[in-house]
Amino acid sequence: MTCPNTSCAFPQNIVRDGFFRRKEDSKIIQRFRCKTCRQRFSAATFSEAYRQKRRRINSTLMKLLSSNVSQRRAAIILGVHRRTVERRVPFLAQKCRRLNERFLRRVSGSVHNIQIDDLITKENSKLKPLAVTIAVDEHRRIILGLEVSQIPAFGLLAHIAIKKYGTRKDEHGQGLTRLFQKIAPVLAREVLIKSDEHKRYPFYIAKYLPRARHETYPSERACVAGQGELKKVRYDPLFIVNHTCATLRANINRLIRKTWCTTKNPKRLQNHLDIFMYYYNSVLLPQVTPFLSGS
Ligand SMILES: [Zn+2]
């Protein structure tokens, strides 16, 4: 432990300086004092939860948000104010992004087959759609990446949307760029990529994974109304990614079709997805496929 004062001349020159009892969890925390600059600090100063008043909710909140509980309901279950939950989500997301990066480094080089797809959801209204691009390891079902990007309304809604909200920027390309930049270092060089016939994928695959093989399959009809990802066909070549999309919709309540909960801000959806990705890869997935226990 060293002095937290960045302009301190001898930051190693510290001594113990008593204790305090942290009110929130009754833990005894060691205090320190710097003999050079007289700065006082404690063992908690360096904690990533520094100055949080409700540290105890962090791990449960992560589980609730990955288990189809809304932020408001999570606040009620945890017995805290809903703004406490709102403020804590970006912190948890940041932490999960770091853990996700570490997780990807662990599986790096061992990913030979992936499936990619886009899940469509919305920001407030169907006139403002969002795309979530998903990359999944075909054999182990690991979620390799989830990227949110805004897209303009399509189909019958397109001209109503333009009338009501004006032209909406298409940022799908940026989303795909972020996804491929993150996953390219993790994938084997001659990775096999399976996807539907989305017109944008070939460009980004060629750019970021020049040695990859790309197989495309035409889209199939859904088997259950409202569950577009679960297909009617007997054998779905894109089953793994479609099933992962359905899992996301079932466990992140703002992705459920016809839900009361919606995304008000694409950045918050990205936060929620990053939290889910960590929970899914490291808690849910090992329960069904104990693939990582040995590696
Ligand atoms: Zn100092």
Residue 290: pLDDT band with limits 50, 70, 90:
low
CA–centroid distance for 202 within its chain: 24
Q: So what's the pLDDT on residue 260?
A: 65
Distance 18 CA to ligand 1 centre (A): 17
Rounded-to-integer distance, Cα 181 and Cα 201, Å:
14
The full DSSP string for 263-289 is BS-HHHHHHHHHHHHHHIIIIIHHHH-
Point out which residues pair with 268 in neighbouring strands. Answer: none
Distance 43 CA to ligand 1 centre (A): 15
Q: So what's the pLDDT on residue 56?
A: 87
Distance 49 CA to ligand 1 centre (A): 22
Distance 52 CA to ligand 1 centre (A): 24
Q: So what's the pLDDT on residue 295?
A: 42
Residue 259: pLDDT band with limits 50, 70, 90:
low
Distance 7 CA to ligand 1 centre (A): 8
Percent of the chain, pLDDT > 70?
91
Distance 234 CA to ligand 1 centre (A): 68
Distance 40 CA to ligand 1 centre (A): 8
Topology, domain 105-286: Nucleotidyltransferase; domain 5 (3.30.420)
Do residues 174 and 147 touch, judged by C-beta distance below 8 A?
no
Q: So what's the pLDDT on residue 212?
A: 94
Distance 1 CA to ligand 1 centre (A): 11
Distance 168 CA to ligand 1 centre (A): 52
Distance 6 CA to ligand 1 centre (A): 8
Q: What is the pTM for the complete model shown?
A: 0.87
State yes or no: pLDDT of 226 exceeds 60: no
Which residue type does 227 have? Q
Distance 153 CA to ligand 1 centre (A): 56
Point out which residues pair with 123 in neighbouring strands. Answer: 125, 263
